[in-house]
Amino acid sequence: MKHRTGYLFKRGSNFYLNWKVAGKVFTRALRDDNGGPITNSREAEEARQKLMAPFAVADQAAVLESMVGRLQGRKAELAGWEDQQNPPLPISQVWTGFLASPNRPDSGGATLYQYECQWSRFAEWMKEKHPNALTLREVTKDIAEEYAGNLNHGALSPNTYNKHLGLLTLVFRVVKGKAKLTENVWEDLQRKRLATNSRRELTMEELRKVCQSATGELQILLAMGIYSGLRLGDCATLRWCEVDLERGLIRRIPNKIARSPNPKTVQIPVHPTLAAMLSAIRAEERTEYVLPKTAATYAHRTDEVTDSIQAHFKACGIKVWKSGTGPDSKDGKRAVIEVGFHSLRHSFVSMCRAGNVPLSVVEALVGHSNPAMSRHYTHVGELAATTAVAALPAVIGNGKPGSQQQDPAALLVKIKRIAETMSANNWEKKRGQLLAFFRVQK
């Protein structure tokens, strides 16, 4: 280190400093601040340290760089050893690891099937485009952006695109430890702005056509959608234990809110047309699900149920996609679905409102995930709901709205129940229930 710190020597009474840089020797006579020669060793040492300080700093930087290099090398060695002992997660095993992880969401079968389809698409793309990247840790931000661009320039809607990236973000987060990831390459990717395309309601003529031309479980499934306002998943997986034909009620916790902290059961009166269809199912055929074949298909292949419904609508002459999209598109625009099973839910609400059913009753029937709204719905009486559903027009057979007749003794029991619960605080609501009850008996 002498060439970096220099060394002192003395000629006569004057001290000199000698140092070497890149093989070249430098010598300098030491002077004090007044320019006079330095003649004592203490002042000479101070002058040496001052002159050699920049060289010492450079030397320290070189030492630090050397240490960092050695540490990085050691770290790489350790990482390589650790990878040998506990290899990072291969892409081919990611889905199995995701399913086995206790940190993944408690998703239903249909949702997991959709997730698996999205993951498989990414895994196949990686195999084709980046065959040398075998582990999840080798998926870089550049690769993520390349795949997102591939999705974006395809036929995916903004909503489907966002859900696809959301699934990849979820998988990477859940298996982060096993895959030894240092970052989630999907989190910072820009999502697409959603343009909402709601399903339109069907006309009465369309409702009659799709219901009267359907057969078997499909006809009952469509009738459920029209007369209950339940979503496809709830209709397809409705259980007999949730149907009370004697009281004329369906009690169901909608799938959409089933995993929320405080799920609310919706109570939907059974319309006479739907009641007749359900009653016609023989007792020995009433196992777990009201529609066993549909429920089994929906659990594994939701798209098959959806496709069969769409095919039936098309067979009835109903255009299911928005004009200018899909087959009608001249510039290759993706198909925007305008009519589907969810249209029956809109039709249910529309028919209720057309019959002047109070908004609070309609909202109680279709259910709502907002806790504040749910508290409001609890004040809707069973009789008011029954009146609303009974007033819906029949779209199958020759049934007439409100044509069902109840047993007189049962009617008296209901009237008595309302009267017994009447108080000074709720008499207006109870009076409304009684008046609604008498209106439905006309």
Q: CA separation (Å) from 335 to 46, 192, 205, 319? A: 84, 18, 25, 11
The string of pLDDT tens digits covering residues 171-203 is: 999 999 888 888 999 998 988 876 656 678 888
On the 0-12 / 13-18 / 19+ scale of CB atoms within 10 A, 112 is: middle
Q: 318 and 409 in one domain?
A: no
Q: Is residue 186 part of a domain?
A: no
Q: Is residue 190 part of a domain?
A: no
Residue with tokens 């990611």, as numbered in its chain: 94
Can you tell me the mean pLDDT for 299-316? 90
Query: Can you tell me whether residue 322 is helix, strand or coil?
Result: coil
Is the model more confident about 411 or about 101?
Answer: 101
The pLDDT confidence band at residue 386, using thresholds 50, 70 and 90, is low
HEC readout, 220-282? HHHHHHHHHCCCHHHHHCCEHHHEECCCCEEEECCHHHCCCCCCCCEEEECCHHHHHHHHCCC
Flag whether pLDDT at 332 surpasses 70. no
CA–CA distance, 429 with 408 (Å, rounded to integer): 23
Residues 6+ apart with CB under 8 A from 48: 5, 6, 8, 17, 30
CA–CA distance, 89 with 97 (Å, rounded to integer): 8
Q: Is residue 188 part of a domain?
A: no
Helical ranges in 316-425 per DSSP H: 342-354, 359-366, 371-377, 382-390, 408-420
Longest dimension (CA), the chain: 134
Under 8 Å between Cβ of 437 and 406: no
> Which residue among 53, 85, 117 closes a domain?
85
Cα three-residue angle 436-437-442, rounded to 5 degrees: 95
The closest of 342, 314, 344 to 327, measured between CA atoms, is 314
Q: 361 and 298 in one domain?
A: yes
What is the DSSP annotation of 124-146?
HHHHHH-TT--BGGG--HHHHHH
Element (H, E) at 201: none
The string of pLDDT tens digits covering residues 121-161 is: 999 999 999 999 999 999 999 999 999 988 877 667 778 88
Q: 96 and 79 in one domain?
A: no
The β-bridge partners of 243 are 250
Q: Is residue 189 part of a domain?
A: no
Q: Is residue 196 part of a domain?
A: no
Range of the domain at 74: 2-85
Q: 102 and 35 in one domain?
A: no
The pLDDT confidence band at residue 441, using thresholds 50, 70 and 90, is very low
Q: 74 and 169 in one domain?
A: no
Q: 365 and 377 in one domain?
A: yes
The string of pLDDT tens digits covering residues 79-118 is: 554 555 457 889 999 999 999 999 998 887 778 888 999 9
Specify the pLDDT at position 194: 67
CA–CA distance, 221 with 251 (Å, rounded to integer): 16
Flag whether pLDDT at 440 surpasses 50. no
Q: Which two tokens stand for residue 274?
A: 């739907």
Is the model more confident about 99 or about 440?
Answer: 99
Number of domains in the chain: 4
pLDDT-above-90 percentage for the chain: 26
Arithmetic mean of pLDDT over the chain? 79
Q: 152 and 235 in one domain?
A: no
Can you tell me the mean pLDDT for 16-20? 85
> Which residue among 113, 146, 179 closes a domain?
179
Q: 273 and 247 in one domain?
A: yes
Under 8 Å between Cβ of 168 and 118: yes
Flag whether pLDDT at 63 surpasses 90. no
